[in-house]
Amino acid sequence: MSPDKIREFDWWEGEEVLQGVKLTSTPARHFSGRGFTRNKTLWSSFVLEVGGYKLFIGGDSGFDDSFKEIGDKYGPFDLAMLECGQYDVQWPYIHMMPEETVKAALNLQTKVFMPVHWGKFTLANHPWRDPIEQAVKFARAYGAAITAPKIGEPVILNEKMPFEEWWSGK
């Protein structure tokens, strides 16, 4: 890739990367790097503004006050894609527990959140369905709107936010 096509952002920096498309780097809490070299770069989440919509792309992150700060600064969001899976109480700084994912959605002031990072492969000791089942349970308890499309199913902002408990096999 040509170096002039690469944009590096610190947290809270962003720009219009294409006409009508603004991308802003926001904090996330994780480690960076693999092996013996770690924490030499930032782990980021992103705010994507396009077509009059605001999306939050969370990536991997532990829960902290950043979600409230991002929500206060850039919210409300039309959709927040938030990591919800591969968690363990031993890893609180890199992945959220499902209840924390719902709290992050509320702190971001999102209209709807989509749990991601839960149905691909197993890194943690929880059952495969546990992340989505727990996220749905806490979303209902806290009154948070959730969408959980089937793999490949389209999500159309403000129009089609699919939710069917397809993972349950019912």
pLDDT digits (tens, 9 = 90+) for 144-168: 999 999 989 999 998 999 999 999 8
pLDDT digits (tens, 9 = 90+) for 37-58: 766 667 899 999 999 999 999 9
Per-residue pLDDT, 34: 62
Amino acid at 8: E
Beta bridge partners of 26: 45
Please count the structural domains in the chain.
Answer: 1
- What range does the domain containing 118 cover? 3-168
CATH assignment at residue 163: 3.60.15.10
